[in-house]
Amino acid sequence: MLETRRIQIFDTTLRDGEQTPGVCLAAAEKLEIAQALARLKVDVIEAGFPFASPGDFAAVREIAAQVKGPVIAALARANKEDIDLAAQALEGAKRRRIHTFIATSDIHLEHKLKMNRFQVLKRAEEAVRYARKFTDDVEFSAEDASRSDRDFLCQVYAAAIAAGATVINIPDTVGYSTPEEFGALIRYIREHVPNIDKAVISVHCHDDLGMAVANSLAAVAAGATQVECTVNGLGERAGNAALEELVMALHTRRDFYRVGTGVDTRQIYRTSKLVSTLTGIAVPPNKAVIGENAFAHESGIHQHGVLNHAGTYEIMSPETIGISRNSIVLGKHSGRHAFEQRLRQLGYELEEKAVTELFVRFKELADRKKIVFDRDIEALVANKASGQPEWYQLVYHHVVSGNQTLATASVRLAASGAVFEAAACGDGPVDATFKAIEKAVGFSIGLKDFQLKAVTAGEDALGEATVWVEREGRTFSGRGLSTDIIEASARAYVSAINKMLAACGCGASGQAAGGN
Ligand SMILES: [Zn+2]
């Protein structure tokens, strides 16, 4: 056996990742991501920060009640109110973890907490002891650990472990550390915390200098056994260590690291797509492992080599992360059985009702498009109705545009039995359509951003539109999918309006957002 240690993958896409600027996930979307993470077989899902907002609380509670497999964790600052709420939100989980934290660096003590070292040590101890009343699984983080005084840091960890912490997390909160330095810090902690053998050593690295994954790997080499990360590297500022890079580095180089994870790597690509669709944060084409170009071979010499023997230029195969080389699958004559079977082969376990809805959309798509690729099916699944209440539905849209004519659009929306119609002119067909929709709903909407991209290649490709709208300082995103880009845009705009009306509860995340 090559693998001598098992590394726990702690995913914080739904907590740190959700703190990515501009990201606002509805409860149903968080649940969908949590279910994908369970299929990916991560060990721990940090579902949110219940104290941050009622929306965060509700999402953690829903995930705790419904998602089976991984440990469900909730973040709490080191005080009773936060811990009480985290414990309440986690009640439905079979395996639950309270993750409590306090800063330990002098700069945070002086300017943020206004506490001295003794007070911080006592507070950490009390918080861990209090959290243990609710669960046997308590993680303690020393925020800004990498910039803290090493000996004080060791004292705090020793106190937290003595109070019952089962995991101690060492975050590089501001992404300041380097691999050599961070590895040395882990070794120092292992050597200077007397009761360290009673806790799992965890790390949490940020990517401000592009070293989050490298720092995490250095920590693993130095003896850490839990790594915190996010899908697509989302997170505060420059983000966290990317799950896909970490897992594939450990997997591809198990000869070197001699560790294993429990992750089903074949779910990586799909999970990345889902997270990118739901958050609206695109993956750059040159991104390691999951980027569009990660397995593309441009040069003739490389292509020739790969065709003869993949190993000449490929250190991992696309199949390992769940990209199938044979991607032409279904067409207009494919029946429901074939469609259902393909969904299962792609790893989706969906309820009967969802399959029925998707099959209708698949048939509509197959009528417009000769060949339906796996990527199209994945886009359909990612864009399926979220289960959120939909106020308005797009019934009809018509647009006239050209280089010699003013773009004019008319739309018809339906909402609880009533019909709303309007027409408007604009700068181009998308603008005219958005203005007509705004007129039909009867209130002004602040369009913040708009993005359009093709799901697959070819002139009949599916277009995926994402729209961000703003109201009273809160941002809401909507998505739409169609082979007609104006229709995709209109659907995205209506979906953003529906979300705005359903008020997703992300607005308050600023009040107590933080963590490590
Ligand atoms: Zn963080």
Maximum distance among all alpha carbons in the chain? Answer: 79
CA separation for the pair 47, 411 (Å, rounded): 39
Which amino acid is present at 79? Answer: N
- 514 alpha carbon – ligand 1 mean position (Å): 8
pLDDT at residue number 374: 79
Closest of 4, 93, 2, 103 to residue 47, by C-alpha: 93
- 128 alpha carbon – ligand 1 mean position (Å): 20
CA 234 vs CA 5, 143, 161, 358, 480: distances in Å: 27, 19, 30, 29, 23
pLDDT tens by residue, 351-385 = 888 899 899 989 888 888 777 887 788 888 877 76
Q: What residues are neighbours of ligand 1 (ion), with CB under 5 Å?
A: 16
- 387 alpha carbon – ligand 1 mean position (Å): 30
pLDDT at residue number 326: 55
Q: Which two tokens stand for residue 235?
A: 């997170």
Residue 206 labeled ligand binder: yes
- 515 alpha carbon – ligand 1 mean position (Å): 6
Q: Which two tokens stand for residue 123?
A: 């507070």
Q: Give yes or no for a contact between 392 and 497, defined as CB atoms under 8 angstroms apart.
A: yes
pLDDT at residue number 507: 36
- 123 alpha carbon – ligand 1 mean position (Å): 21
- HEC profile for 332-389? CCCCHHHHHHHHHHCCCCCCHHHHHHHHHHHHHHHHHCCEEEHHHHHHHHHCCCCCCC
Helix, strand, or coil (residue 307): helix
Closest of 51, 90, 84, 85 to residue 72, by C-alpha: 90
- 194 alpha carbon – ligand 1 mean position (Å): 27
- 139 alpha carbon – ligand 1 mean position (Å): 14
Helix, strand, or coil (residue 221): helix
- 144 alpha carbon – ligand 1 mean position (Å): 10
- 324 alpha carbon – ligand 1 mean position (Å): 33
- 485 alpha carbon – ligand 1 mean position (Å): 37
pLDDT tens by residue, 432-473 = 999 999 999 998 888 988 988 888 777 778 888 989 888 877
393-504: what fold?
Answer: Double Stranded RNA Binding Domain (3.30.160)
- 422 alpha carbon – ligand 1 mean position (Å): 46
- 51 alpha carbon – ligand 1 mean position (Å): 16
- 151 alpha carbon – ligand 1 mean position (Å): 23
pLDDT at residue number 179: 98
Which amino acid is present at 154? Answer: C
Residue 337 labeled ligand binder: no
- 207 alpha carbon – ligand 1 mean position (Å): 10
3-state percent helix, strand, coil for the chain, nearest multiple of 5? 45, 25, 35
pLDDT at residue number 232: 97
Segments in the chain below pLDDT 70 = 1-3, 297-300, 325-329, 385-389, 503-515
- 235 alpha carbon – ligand 1 mean position (Å): 7
- 21 alpha carbon – ligand 1 mean position (Å): 13
**Residue located via tokens 């989050």:** 212
- 15 alpha carbon – ligand 1 mean position (Å): 9
- 185 alpha carbon – ligand 1 mean position (Å): 18
pLDDT at residue number 371: 79
- 204 alpha carbon – ligand 1 mean position (Å): 7
Residue 240 labeled ligand binder: yes
- 516 alpha carbon – ligand 1 mean position (Å): 4
- 240 alpha carbon – ligand 1 mean position (Å): 6
- 206 alpha carbon – ligand 1 mean position (Å): 6
- 505 alpha carbon – ligand 1 mean position (Å): 21
Query: What is the pTM assigned to this prediction?
Result: 0.85
- 228 alpha carbon – ligand 1 mean position (Å): 9
CA separation for the pair 213, 218 (Å, rounded): 9
- 319 alpha carbon – ligand 1 mean position (Å): 31
- 281 alpha carbon – ligand 1 mean position (Å): 18
Residue 16 labeled ligand binder: yes
5-279: what fold?
Answer: TIM Barrel (3.20.20)
CA separation for the pair 122, 119 (Å, rounded): 5
